[in-house]
Amino acid sequence: MTTKWVYAFEEGNAAMRDLLGGKGANLAEMTGIGLPVPPGFIITTEACLAYLNQGEQFPEGMWDQAVTAMGELAKKMNRQFGDNSDPLLVSVRSGARFSMPGMMDTILNLGLNDEAVKALEARSGDARFAWDAYRRLVQMFGKVVLDIEGHLFEELLDRIKAEEGIQTDPEISAQGWQKVTQWFKDLIKKETGEEFPQDPWQQLERAVEAVFKSWNGKRAVDYRNATGISHDLGTAVNIQTMVFGNVGWDSGSGVAFTRDPSTGERDLFGEYLFNAQGEDVVSGARTPTEVHHLAEEAPEAWKTLSTISDKLEKHYRNMQDMEFTIENGKLWMLQTRNGKRTAAAEVKIAVDMVDEGLISQEEAVSRIEWFQIDQLLHPRFDEEEVAKVGVLAKGLNASPGAAVGKVYFDADTAEEKAKAGEAVILVRPETTPDDVHGMLVAEGILTQHGGATSHAAVVARQLGKPCVAGCEGLRISLKERQFEADGTVVKEGDTLSLDGGTGRVFLGVIPTVAPSFDDQPELQRILDWADQIRRLEVWANADDPDQAARARRYGAQGIGLCRTEHMFLGDRTEKFQQAVLAAERGDRDEFQRVLDDILLPLQREDFYGIFKVMDGLPVIIRLLDPPLHEFLPALEELVEQVAILKTQGKSDPQKEALLATVRDMHEFNPMLGLRGCRLGITMPELNTMQVRAIFEAACDAAKEGTVVKPEVMIPLTSHVNELNRIQPLLEDVAKTVMKEKGIEVEYKFGTMIEIPRAALTAGEIAEVAQFFSFGTNDLTQMAFGISRDDAERKFLLRYADPHDLNILPTNPFQAIDQIGVGRLMQMAVDEGRAARPDLEVGICGEHGGEASSIDFCHRIGLDYVSCSPFRVPVARLAAAHAVINEKRS
């Protein structure tokens, strides 16, 4: 049996996206549910792949099937394709599995030629329309199929307007369009040496080939690389009977979303133009009218559109992005798809759809992607700073977020500068698919023309990039590489700040502030639902009461890591140095005095603050981890200072003594040196001071009625004997303090698992430790034998770049290496729990806030993940997704 390469719209449905592409599957679905869709058919994605894999040959039988399908169309429309006396005209559009905005082009009015255009003129009684239609075909064919640069056509359009003394395309006369058509044909001849094909079947064949080839075009490949879409899907081709929005003022074209794609508000959102085709609406050449005006200007079409909008939403249970054309008052649907939207809209729509009974809470949770939560919690501009600077220009708030960067006026330069590490704002008169590579790397996008559904707006929303569109106050000069706004000239390389949420543009850098979680009630509802689904608890890494308070507001259920070394920084460094130097001198009395009199009270205060904030929740406090010389001046610095003094014939005995100490403490591999529990073992006074501070603070807070659950964490254990040595000593301190204070609190002693040997001997270690916390930063460094901070600068990013060395699938410091490091973790969980069934196990390395790692932690049965306070909302969602994923697989 020969393969079926071609499907009529009646033969498909929405479930056939893989084969028919998104657009085709939805056209088929709309046809199936009885909506007014111009008849057509789809050539499958498999045909595209076969074509590309067979040296650019149509697969056997495909063309015959397409010809037969055209015959069926002819019967339905009562017109023949290729009949120059009454031509059937079609559009050819690409449509891949995933919609890729503006990635591949459309060709309209196929079937026209020098003869058929006259028949179209006679049929419509409108010469202007007929010649405009023909020139569009020649122009699109020239651009898309023959690869002629678009601006060459645009220049001829400018020429005719100059000749006719007019400003806009709709004013061009019938004779003008006729002339332009000839110029376009001449241009094609000049650029390619061939004539524009007069044979409609040849037009069709070449258009289909062009769609197939565009799958491997640079733009499409760049976009797929950036968004992680597979290169092996191929695109379908949609061939559809033309309906015309430009046959007079009772016709038009528009784009509408069933809900507002920026805010999620439940109200039709969109734009239309009378006497125009679809491309006129998105090109920004004419300013479209807001869709609600249809209610007065074309009431019948408005009623149909509103009804269809409701029907499509109920049918798809998702917000739809629709394209429609009105031909002599009758509304036709040309496309529907799930609409691209901002993160805020995604969340609001999901919550509203639960309230409307369209979807379940679980479905709402599963629809939100982790990075959307991240976007909602991105910094915003500080309004106090904004007030000082003043607004340079204002445009449409096309895609929210705050962006700061240097201005560049073309995508290639933007890409080059971004690669060199600059933050870039791409400024364009308007964007087209040719600009997407620049948009991908830009912090934000600013356009002079175009509306809320313009290319720039749609793509920016999808990419989650701030965008201000249609900023008509700018006067961009691409030639001089500058723009002028309100009397200010901004040159290439100047810095701008863009507020995509309000459409404001500022000169210079506006500082940002942390976002507010409290005024995002819909986000909170989604996360509450996520909490009901997830099994993993979400804790936070926090080093002070402020961070702990933020973590709690964001929903943290405990502190998984309080890094106490951060408490010895800033103005406390000097005090800590005093202790270190005394210890190194062997002056035990002075060492103890600094610890007891100076550092203990400070630490107690730190811990007390955290316990108060975390009332009722566990708090894991890690004993000092880094090597002590990190708190002293750098060796090179001291050497230099002492040398300079010497050349001046001076000396500073104190500095020289300090230098001697630092030299003495110097290690070749400090990360593998005297740090973690090794410090505590060789210098137990440090740890006993910290444990005393923890328990004094805990007891003080408990006496005030606060429920405290301190958990003391010993870092960098490699051998159980390390714990055997230090832990009983520290437990004694805890007990002594509680006795002194006359109050008992619930507590635990446990350890980090961050050295492979600890994971391999977890059974022994769990005999002593009451909890494990995976320090996957160190565990990854030591499992790979890679020093993160050095490697990320040198080779690691290249290792994980699929276009470069491609040795690792991802950077293992971002996402857990499940096969290697993950195996160590799994082993440690299993053996640890075998030795101690109620062993508490979590993760506090950076991976604790990363979605794929959280999914892994769920699967290997951890009790919690701990991450930075800002990541807590993301982790709550990702932990729920882990449960949903597990159910689905």
Handedness of CA 306, 309, 314, 319 (dihedral sign): negative
Which has the closest alpha carbon to 74: 62, 61, 63, 90?
Answer: 90
Nearer to ligand PEP by C-beta: 136 or 622? 622
844 has catalytic annotation: yes
Residue 845 region, left (φ>0) first, then alpha (ψ -120 to 50), else beta?
beta
Give the one entry of ligand PEP, Mg ion, none that residue 756 binds, where binding means its C-beta sits below a cut-off of 5 to 8 angstroms depending on kind: none
Of the residues 455, 847, 858, 881, only one is catalytic, namely 455
272 vs 631 by CB, closer to ligand PEP: 631
Residue 778 binds Mg ion, judged by CB under 5 A: yes
Structure tokens at 272: 């239309």
Cβ closest to ligand PEP, residue 445 vs residue 867:
867
Report in angstroms how near the CB of residue 486 gets to ligand PEP at its nearest.
48
What is the nearest approach in angstroms of ligand PEP to the Cβ of residue 858? 19
- From the list 59, 200, 618, 775, which residue makes contact with Mg ion (rule: CB under 5 A)? 775
Q: Which of 711, 754, 764, 817 binds ligand PEP (CB under 6 A)?
A: 754
Q: Which of 562, 844, 857, 867 is catalytic?
A: 844
Distance of closest approach, residue 560 Cβ to Mg ion, in angstroms: 13
Beta carbon nearer to Mg ion, 775 or 832: 775
Q: Contact 177/128 with Cβ under 8 angstroms? A: yes
The distance of Cα 725 from the centroid of its chain, to the nearest Å, equals 48
Distance, CA of 800 to CA of 789 (rounded, Å) = 15
Does 845 sit near ligand PEP (CB under 6 A)?
A: yes
**Does residue 289 contact residue 273 with C-beta atoms inside 8 Å?**
yes
Q: Smaller CB distance to ligand PEP: residue 482 or 773? A: 773
List binders of Mg ion among 697-756 (CB under 5 A). 754
Least Cβ distance, residue 810 to Mg ion (angstroms): 20
777 binds ligand PEP (CB under 6 A): yes
Tell the smallest beta-carbon distance from residue 764 to ligand PEP (Å).
21
Catalytic residue status for 455: yes
Q: Which is nearer to ligand PEP, 680 or 845 (CB)?
A: 845
346 binds Mg ion (CB under 5 A): no
Q: How far apart (Å, rounded) are the C-alpha atoms in residues 558 and 866?
A: 8
For residue 80, the partner it binds in ligand PEP, Mg ion, none, with Cβ less than 5 to 8 A by kind, is none
Which tokens go with 505? 């543009």
CB of 544 to ligand PEP, least distance (A): 15
Part in contact with ligand PEP (CB under 6 A); list of ranges 190-198, 543-551, 566-574, 772-780: 772-780
845 binds, among ligand PEP, Mg ion, none (CB under 5 to 8 A by kind): ligand PEP
Cα angle vertex 871, ends 866, 873, to 5°? 100
Assigned token pair, 4: 């079926």
Q: How many helices (H) and strands (E) does the chain have?
A: 37, 31
**Could you say which of ligand PEP, Mg ion, none residue 563 binds, taking C-beta under 5 to 8 angstroms by partner kind?**
ligand PEP
Quote helix, strand, coil % in the chain, to nearest 5.
50, 15, 30
| Listed ranges 187-195, 469-477, 775-783, 831-839: which one lies at the site for ligand PEP (CB under 6 A) | 775-783
- Return the closest-CA partner of residue 746 out of 862, 619, 865: 619
Residue type at position 545: P
Residue 132 binding partner per list ligand PEP, Mg ion, none, with a CB distance cut-off of 5 to 8 Å that depends on partner kind: none
Contact 455, 432 (CB under 8 A): yes
Angle at 198 between CA 192 and CA 200, to 5 degrees: 115
Residue-wise DSSP of 754-785? -SHHHHHTHHHHHHH-SEEEE-HHHHHHHHHT
Residue nearest to Mg ion (CB): 778
Q: String of b and e for 510-527 (b: at least 16 CB within 10 Å)? A: bebeebebeebebbbbbb
286 binds ligand PEP (CB under 6 A): no
From residue 206, alpha-carbon distances to 102, 107, 751 in Å are 20, 11, 67
In whole angstroms, the minimum distance from the beta carbon of 467 to Mg ion comes to 40
> 657-686: which residues touch ligand PEP (CB under 6 A)?
none
Closer of 844 and 882 to ligand PEP (Cβ): 844
Q: Is residue 374 involved in binding Mg ion (CB under 5 A)? A: no
- Closer to Mg ion by Cβ: residue 280 or 778: 778
Q: Which of 86, 209, 201, 93 is nearest to 146 (CA)?
A: 209
Site for ligand PEP in 526-585 (CB under 6 A): 561, 563
- Nearest C-alpha neighbor of 27 from the set 45, 8, 44, 46: 8
Residue 343 near residue 526, CB atoms below 8 Å = no
Q: How many CA atoms does the CB half-sphere of 599 hold within 13 Å?
A: 30
**306 lines the binding site for ligand PEP (CB under 6 A):** no
- The CB-of-795 to Mg ion minimum distance in angstroms stands at 22
Binding of ligand PEP by 776 (CB under 6 A): yes
Residues of the shown chain interacting with ligand PEP in the complex, contacts defined by CB under 6 A: 561, 563, 625, 754, 775-778, 844-845
Catalytic residue positions, numbered: 455, 844
Residues of the shown chain interacting with Mg ion in the complex, contacts defined by CB under 5 A: 754, 775, 778
